[in-house]
């Protein structure tokens, strides 16, 4: 094992988790859902605090691993989470309830985020998490850019697509969608991108104050 691999493994094993997170992670795996890793969960928890996030939007609820992580240290924050799979959303309701998250802090929406997000208020969220189908990534990002406030952030886990994004030989649709997003945000003067090797790659995008040339314009219906 190389030094970099040992560093990555240590970082993955380091964060502690609450009992609620451990149970949610186990349930995710039982249902065949790939949850964010422990290190990514820890970064989500810290990002919420650093952003002083009060209003959070999540695309891809799963059964609540990432949602619990986002709310872990933010006792006053509210979470709007969108999930297309009804079964996953039912399980998530139980997970949040068992974790003691008050119903007033949650808005769980069943539906396709591509149809839900364009109806949400502009610049109304401090943090947006996108954990959904890679093929729809650019559309989700454009919508997220419209609802996140200046100074807020958009977070995309799975940025390495199981190691395929850095592999020049990998050219499937999911990989290309992630590469397109990485190229887009790297060239935009309106976004500060941060790519971390945590988990399967964690992309954090800070929306800078105001609009600037080269900023993608989110579609509105």
Read off the pLDDT of residues 8-28 as tens digits, 9 standing for 90 and up.
Answer: 999 999 999 999 999 999 999
CA-CA distance, 154 to 90, in Å (whole number)? 26
- The pTM of this model reads 0.92
Q: What is the mean pLDDT of residues 52-60?
A: 97
> In this predicted model, what pLDDT tens digit does every residue of 61-75 receive, in sequence order?
999 999 999 999 999
d(Cα 186, Cα 174) in Å, to the nearest integer? 19
Kindly report the average pLDDT of the chain as a whole number. Answer: 93
Alpha helices in 118-212 (DSSP H): 137-147, 173-187
Q: What percent of the chain has pLDDT over 70?
A: 95
Instruction: For residues 115 and 109, give the distance between their C-alpha atoms in angstroms, rounded to a whole number.
Output: 11
Quote the CATH superfamily of domain 3-207. Answer: Vaccinia Virus protein VP39 (3.40.50.150)
Residue 211 has a pLDDT of 55
Whether the per-residue pLDDT at 190 is higher than 60: the answer is yes
Q: How many CB atoms lie within 10 A of CB 18?
A: 12
**pLDDT at 128 exceeding the cut of 90:** yes
pLDDT at 8: 93
Average pLDDT over residues 43-56: 97
Give the chain's end-to-end CA distance (angstroms, integer). 51
Mean predicted confidence (pLDDT) in 180-196: 95
Residue 185 reports pLDDT greater than 80: yes
- Sorted by where each begins, the domain ranges of the chain are 3-207
Measured at the CA of 16, the angle between CA 13 and CA 23, to 5 degrees, comes to 100
Taking residues 145-155, report their average pLDDT: 97
| pLDDT band per the 50, 70, 90 thresholds, residue 210 | low
């Amino acid at each position: 094992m190389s030094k970099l691999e040992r560093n990555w493994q240590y970082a993955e094993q380091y964060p502690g988790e609450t009992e609620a997170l451990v149970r949610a992670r186990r349930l995710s795996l039982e249902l065949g859902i790939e949850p964010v890793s422990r290190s990514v969960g820890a970064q989500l928890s810290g990002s919420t605090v650093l952003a002083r996030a009060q209003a959070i939007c999540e695309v891809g609820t799963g059964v609540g691993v990432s949602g619990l992580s986002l709310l872990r240290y933010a006792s006053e924050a509210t979470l709007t989470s969108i999930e297309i799979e009804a079964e996953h959303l039912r399980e998530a309701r139980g997970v949040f309830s068992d974790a003691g998250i008050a119903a007033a802090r949650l808005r769980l929406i069943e539906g396709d985020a591509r149809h839900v997000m364009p109806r949400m208020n502009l610049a109304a969220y401090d943090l947006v998490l996108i954990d959904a189908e890679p093929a729809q990534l650019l559309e989700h990002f454009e919508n997220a850019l419209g609802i996140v406030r200046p100074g807020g952030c958009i977070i995309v886990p799975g940025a390495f697509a199981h190691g395929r994004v850095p592999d020049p030989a990998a050219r499937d649709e999911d990989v290309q969608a992630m590469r397109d997003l990485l190229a887009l945000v790297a060239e935009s003067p309106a976004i500060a991108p941060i790519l971390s090797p945590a988990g399967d790659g964690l992309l954090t995008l800070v929306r800078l104050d105001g609009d600037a040339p080269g900023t993608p314009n989110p579609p509105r219906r």
